[in-house]
């Protein structure tokens, strides 16, 4: 079931901890560093694979090591974002900001493994 509004870090997180990326999809997310203020995840999605439904409760800087096309879907399978529909905005070694991400899956539709480092800010 999808939530009607995306949360911000100022609101209470409405989803259970079981949706956390490290719990719901540990084969795609590796914990690099964590303390009370920040969590750093190394994310690797092989070509053709779909990361199970998971969430990111903190806003983050996403540092793209190897870009690739992907489709982000809500838990019901509805497409939230398809990178193929926008100009190439994620070249290698670029960074972008994303707010909290409610439960979603990510399908790598590229011929290469997508590699991103997420620097999540907890406060």
Q: Which domain holds residue 80?
A: 37-121
Per-residue pLDDT reduced to its tens digit, 88-118: 766 889 999 999 999 999 999 999 999 999 9
Question: In the prediction, which pLDDT does 12 show?
Answer: 85
Give a yes or no: residue 20 inside a domain.
Answer: no
Give a yes or no: residue 21 inside a domain.
Answer: no
Q: Is the predicted pLDDT of residue 4 greater than 50, yes or no?
A: no
Give a yes or no: residue 52 inside a domain.
Answer: yes
Q: For residues 13 and 58, is the Cβ–Cβ distance under 8 A?
A: no
Number of separate domains in the chain: 1
Give a yes or no: residue 56 inside a domain.
Answer: yes
Give a yes or no: residue 90 inside a domain.
Answer: yes
Give a yes or no: residue 27 inside a domain.
Answer: no
Is the Cα dihedral 85, 87, 93, 97 positive or negative? negative
Question: In the prediction, which pLDDT does 92 show?
Answer: 86
CA count, 13 A, side-chain hemisphere, 104: 18
The CATH number of whichever domain residue 99 belongs to comes to 2.60.120.10
Per-residue pLDDT reduced to its tens digit, 13-58: 999 999 999 999 999 999 999 999 999 999 999 999 999 999 999 9
């Amino acid at each position: 079931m999808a939530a009607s509004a995306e949360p911000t870090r100022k609101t209470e997180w409405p989803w259970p901890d079981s949706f956390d990326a490290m719990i719901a999809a540990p084969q795609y997310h590796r914990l690099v560093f964590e303390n009370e203020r920040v969590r750093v995840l190394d994310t690797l999605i092989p070509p053709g694979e779909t990361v199970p439904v998971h969430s990111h409760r903190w806003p983050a800087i996403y540092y793209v090591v190897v870009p690739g096309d992907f489709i982000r879907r809500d838990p019901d399978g509805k497409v939230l974002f398809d990178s193929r529909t926008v100009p190439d905005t994620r070249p290698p070694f670029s960074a972008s900001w994303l707010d909290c991400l409610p439960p979603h899956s990510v399908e790598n539709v590229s011929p290469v493994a997508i590699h991103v480092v997420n620097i999540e800010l907890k406060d």
